[in-house]
Amino acid sequence: MSNTLSFTRNPQLNHQGELQHLLSIEGLPREIIERILDTAAPFTLVAEREVKKVPLLRGKSVFNLFFENSTRTRTTFEIAAKRLSADVINLNINTSSAAKGETLLDTVDNLAAMQADMFVVRHAASGAPYLIAQHLAASGRKHIHVVNAGDGRHAHPTQGLLDMYTIRHYKKDFSQLTVAIVGDILHSRVARSQIHGLTTLGVPEVRVIAPRTLLPTGVERMGVRVFTDMQEGLRGADVVMMLRLQNERMQGALLPSSQEYFKSYGLTPEKLALAKPDAIVMHPGPMNRGVEIDSSVADGSQAVILPQVSFGIAVRMAVMAMLGGGSQ
């Protein structure tokens, strides 16, 4: 069956080449990424209206399946779905069925039997959203869509997309940019999604800045320049994307101490001065002030960290609106 074939090629796209699931930025054609960013723009204005809602997903059920804790991402997905008029059901699986021993796919089958239209999935295991999408396709439930809200160290595509939206908003064009991603690249699904997004959109210079111990082996093969010296890596950057130091994912002695880390890799006004004067500073949140970013930079005029949050809702609305419509 051609359907099975197209699944093995790219499970994210349907026969017509339209978005079927959002699992990863990797493998998304540039046109689809640009279409998501274009579609997000009019959604940013919906939030400024008297009625902050459009009726696109009226009568649809969106299930937030969070097998791993996340307040911010879950909340922004919830707001996005509600602004599209969907009914949103939040499930913290940590504290429910999984704890009682139910398998991932049994949970999915049960919720599908409750007429779910979309699953927003956060899971500690890389590939869990793929497994769900594959399971739904194999059982002929193509009308149910899956959005990856972060899987293990693998991908966090909506974060990557909202970062691309933010960069485009402030810099207009990707083709001349130097973008530096700083921090814990090793544990960061955000960094992977950012790198795939930036390279697909044609950013000529993507840099990663981190201590050797926080760089995945072979990161150069993703098309980035690697710097272990932050001063050197920031020179001439148009965009500085900070990452959170993921203490909860640190195993063993990867770092001497957070003070030591801040000295070498924390973004201070002095280090930021090495980037272009109009460089923007981004952070996916939650921030560790005094660990990866100095308070005066986080609250400074070059920071676009709070606009990122607002854009994130519009981008998630765009993704869900593109998934939720028919394509007959």
Partner 1 sequence: MNLPDAEQLLTALTAQLKPTVNTNTALLGIHTGGVWLAERLHTNLQLSIPIGAMDVAFYRDDYHQRGLQGNTRSSHIPFAVDGANVIIVDDVLYTGRTIRAAMNELFDHGRPTSVQLAVLVDRGGRELPIRADYCAHTTSLPASQMLALERSDNGHLSLRVLEK
Measure the CA–CA gap between 195 and 235, rounded to whole angstroms: 19
Q: Would you give the binding string for partner 1 spanning residues 262-301, x where CB under 8 A is met?
A: ----------------------------------------
For partner 1, the binding residue among 1, 49, 217, 278 (CB under 8 A) is: 49
For partner 1, the binding residue among 2, 5, 50, 115 (CB under 8 A) is: 50
For partner 1, the binding residue among 6, 46, 124, 258 (CB under 8 A) is: 46
Using rule CB under 8 A, residue 51 touches partner 1: yes
How many angstroms separate the Cα of 140 from the Cα of each of 16, 131, 143, 268, 328?
17, 14, 9, 53, 17
For partner 1, the binding residue among 8, 23, 42, 78 (CB under 8 A) is: 42
Using rule CB under 8 A, residue 9 touches partner 1: no
Measure the CA–CA gap between 123 and 23, rounded to whole angstroms: 12
Which uninterrupted H or E stretch holds 134? helix 128-138
From the list 4-12, 44-52, 211-219, 260-268, the region that binds partner 1 by CB under 8 A is 44-52
Pairing, β 87-92 against β 61-66: parallel
Q: Which of 187, 122, 126 is nearest to 158 (CA)?
A: 122
Q: Which is nearer to partner 1, 150 or 324 (CB)?
A: 324
Q: Which of 285, 309, 318 is nearest to 81 (CA)?
A: 318
Using rule CB under 8 A, residue 310 touches partner 1: no
Using rule CB under 8 A, residue 79 touches partner 1: no
Contact (Cβ atoms closer than 8 angstroms) between residue 198 and residue 163: no
For partner 1, the binding residue among 6, 39, 126, 134 (CB under 8 A) is: 39
Helix (H, G, I), strand (E, B) or coil at 188: coil
Q: Which of 25, 73, 275, 244 is nearest to 171 (CA)?
A: 275
Q: Which is nearer to partner 1, 315 or 322 (CB)?
A: 322
Using rule CB under 8 A, residue 87 touches partner 1: no
Measure the CA–CA gap between 132 and 14, rounded to whole angstroms: 16
Using rule CB under 8 A, residue 131 touches partner 1: no
Contact (Cβ atoms closer than 8 angstroms) between residue 187 and residue 250: yes
Q: Which is nearer to partner 1, 290 or 325 (CB)?
A: 325
Pairing, β 239-242 against β 225-227: unpaired
From the list 39-47, 95-103, 105-113, 213-221, the region that binds partner 1 by CB under 8 A is 39-47
In the complex, the residues that contact partner 1 under the rule CB under 8 A are: 18, 35, 38-39, 41-42, 44-46, 49-51, 53-56, 321-322, 324-328
